[in-house]
Amino acid sequence: MRNKQVIFRDFLAKGAFPKESDMEVTESTVDVTRAVAEGSKGVLVKNLYLSCDPYMRGGMRKLTDPAESYAASFQPGSPVTGFGVARVLESGHRKFEKGDLVWGLTGWEEYSLLPAPETCFKIEHTDVPLSYYTGLLGMPGLRAYAGFFELCSPKKGETVFISAASGAVGQLAGQFAKLFGCYVVGSAGSKEKVDLLKNKLGFDEAFNYKEESNLDAALKRYFPEGIDIYFENVGGKDYNLEQPKGVPNLIQISMKEVRMEGFSVLDYYHLYLKFLNMVLPQIKEGRIVYVEDTFKGLENGPAALVGLFSNCDVGKQVILVSRE
Amino acid sequence: MRNKQVIFRDFLAKGAFPKESDMEVTESTVDVTRAVAEGSKGVLVKNLYLSCDPYMRGGMRKLTDPAESYAASFQPGSPVTGFGVARVLESGHRKFEKGDLVWGLTGWEEYSLLPAPETCFKIEHTDVPLSYYTGLLGMPGLRAYAGFFELCSPKKGETVFISAASGAVGQLAGQFAKLFGCYVVGSAGSKEKVDLLKNKLGFDEAFNYKEESNLDAALKRYFPEGIDIYFENVGGKDYNLEQPKGVPNLIQISMKEVRMEGFSVLDYYHLYLKFLNMVLPQIKEGRIVYVEDTFKGLENGPAALVGLFSNCDVGKQVILVSRE
């Protein structure tokens, strides 16, 4: 059977901005009935939704030191890899059987052979949009949950600032903080996103950082008594710049007794079921909403991924490959 | 009675380097027998040892926002303030009586009237050098202890890097880490300091950062498998520069799941007795040593303080005002 694929062409030069032409949509073939070899513990899946996430920028860079990035490099000439929702067509793994829905790491193609599917989660709850398992109910959701509740040690009434607040993680971190009883302000890069934050996602305040000539003044305006928690979703301009801009006031870490902590969501997978039990009722009762920006068709994958780095995205970027 | 004082002249311009002429040694008078007014809870003390600490740079700067610095500003025209060891001459406070030895915040003068002495600790153990209560057994010691044991969450065998390693705090943090079973490397700014670290303070390795053209390479040489704990004692060049140099690779906080935390030793005063019980036997058994650089006479105070910021100091800078 034909297998449309989004192929990663070659590593980007240091400091280069990702372009659609760094990827290529081609076609290969797959024998869907005999893809899983005798004795293999792999599964063959049909990909339904694919996720665009900022960490994927790291996969486009040739690494000399594997410790340099948490994202394994993409393979030039092979499909882009990332999180997705898929249906099992054939299984050599006892945890999965034909027809199961799963989410986890997969390839940007119609059909993927996953040699080590045990890192995928089986999807048990299908009374919510399946695409949510790339975002709200997937890795970004768990990242927002673990980041806010496990790392930020929030207290009711604390003030919370969230950057990239309309993104896949930010919109959830903000809603979690609001439900917890915090005062929440978000920043984003367009009027449309700011409206979304204030009118749909329930943030107390939001502002367009591009319209603020003095960001310090903007933060003072919204936080006259300071910020207790800053949930950082941007990584500065570091993702794409060759010479990242330095942070000049790091001594404030000492002056203001700040704790700054980076984390990998992989260390919090054990909390996934706890997270799901908390968040599913909130979704059904309408107390948590989620904004997605869906790109229909695998051939629009490159545009969706590039859009993530050019501030065109609103909400979670998802690629719809197939509805079933 | 005459009271020699080191007067702070005026606030430094932003970015100015502290100079001896920013202070002036003058003489005032004090009535040592009637200094504590009827009904006052203050004490009059005779200062014996005064401490030079890096945080004092903050007191020389005019602050517009009191949250900007943990160091209260000095008062132009009044004595420099800082930690010291003193003997009580007269007391209006029930916690102290005449003859008591104390350590805590005092003035750079022969005699000080302390209006709120309850933040001072009474000195019970006098079988160690009294000057140690400005360093090893005072604020810097508690800072090294709380910083290493409470904040760094060390594990045996971890690799520890300490900057300004021969300083008041660094030399202790390094010795604590060695006694705990870590591999410890320190950096300092002269051959003399490096020798001290390796030969007297028991560091596994030490290097002169001024002789390394590539600091990354130096760190790779001493830590081929990476650094688990970095105990930062420098604050970059932020103390004295108008435009602090930015830290460009902050995204590694996220990539490498780093926790970076600033703290104030004031939040750890409740651990002081626990710290003292741990460290006193180690001193007596010679397992912890301490290097001091003593400036004799209050009139050498300005030189001692300025030396702290020009890398001339070796070990803890102490001013000997009077032996008893």
Which pLDDT score is estimated for A31?
Answer: 83
Bigger pLDDT: B286 vs A70: B286
Burial string for B156-194 (b: 16+ CB within 10 Å, else e) reads eebbbbbbbbbbbbbbbbbbbbbebebbbbbbbbbeebb
DSSP state of A89: E
Token look-up 């939040």 returns B267
Please judge whether B70 and A255 are an interchain contact, meaning their C-beta atoms are less than 8 angstroms apart. yes
Q: Taking residues A31-52, report their average pLDDT.
A: 88
Report the mean per-residue pLDDT for chain B. 91
The Cα A312–Cα A315 span in angstroms is 10
For residue B43 the two structure tokens come to 């004490």
Distance from CA of B68 to the nearest CA of A (A): 7
pLDDT of A257-275, one tens digit each?
999 999 999 999 999 999 9
Q: Is B210's pLDDT higher than 70?
A: yes
What pLDDT digit, counting tens, does each position of B178-191 carry? 999 999 999 999 99
The encoded tokens of residue B122 equal 């009474």
Report the residue of chain A nearest B263, measured CA to CA. Answer: A257
Question: What are B132-175's pLDDT values in tens digits?
Answer: 999 999 999 999 999 999 999 999 999 999 999 999 999 999 99
pLDDT of residue A322: 97
Confidence grade of residue B124 (pLDDT, cut at 50, 70, 90): very high
Alpha-carbon distance B278 to B140, whole Å? Answer: 15
Q: Which residue has the tokens 């005002």?
A: B321
Identify all chain A residues contacting B246, using CB atoms and an 8 Å cutoff: 245-248
Residue pLDDT, tens place only, A208-266: 999 999 999 999 999 999 999 999 988 665 555 556 677 888 888 888 999 999 999 99
- Closest CA–CA distance from residue B65 to any residue of chain A (Å): 12
- Nearest CB neighbour to B262, from listed A239, A247, A256: A256
Of the candidates B238, B244, B259, which has its C-beta nearest A261's C-beta? B259
Give the helix/strand (H/E) hosting A302.
helix A301-308
Name the residue with tokens 């829905």.
A101
CA distance B285 to chain A (A): 34
* Contact at CB, A247 and B250, closer than 8 angstroms: yes
Q: Look at residue A250 in the predicted model and tell me its pLDDT.
A: 85
The β-bridge relationship of strands B159-162 and B229-231 is parallel
| pLDDT for A237 | 58
Structure confidence by residue, pLDDT tens digits, A56-111 = 988 898 876 655 555 678 999 999 999 999 999 999 999 999 999 999 999 999 99
Whether A223 and A161 have beta carbons less than 8 Å apart is answered as yes
Query: Which of B55, B233, B237, B261 to probe by mutation at the A interface, max A CB count within 10 Å?
Result: B261
pLDDT at position B309 over 90: no
Taking contacts as CB-CB distances below 8 angstroms, the residues of chain A near B234 are: none
**Chain-chain contact of A255 with B262 (C-beta, under 8 angstroms):** yes
What does DSSP assign to residue B146? I
B243 CB neighbours in chain A (<8 A) are: 248
User: Cβ contacts (< 8 Å) between B258 and chain A: which residues?
Assistant: 261-262
Which secondary structure element, helix H or strand E, spans residue B23, and what is its range? strand B23-29
Set out the domains of chain A in order of their start, with CATH numbers: 2-135+291-320 (3.90.180.10), 139-266 (3.40.50.720)
For B242, the closest chain A residue by CA position comes to A248
Chain A: which residues have CB within 8 Å of chain B? 67-70, 226, 235-236, 238-239, 243-264, 267
Q: CB-based contacts of A295: which residues, under 8 Å, 6+ apart?
A: A301, A303, A304, A317, A318, A319, A320
Environment class of A186 (CB within 10 Å of its CB; exposed 0-12, middle 13-18, buried 19+): buried
Determine the pLDDT at residue A241. 53
Q: What is the pLDDT of residue A286?
A: 94
Partner-chain contact B236 A256, CB within 8 Å: no
Average pLDDT over residues B15-21: 90
From CA B236, how far away is CA A210, in angstroms rounded? 30
Residue B239 has pLDDT above 90, yes or no: no
Q: Give residue for tokens 């030189």.
A: B303
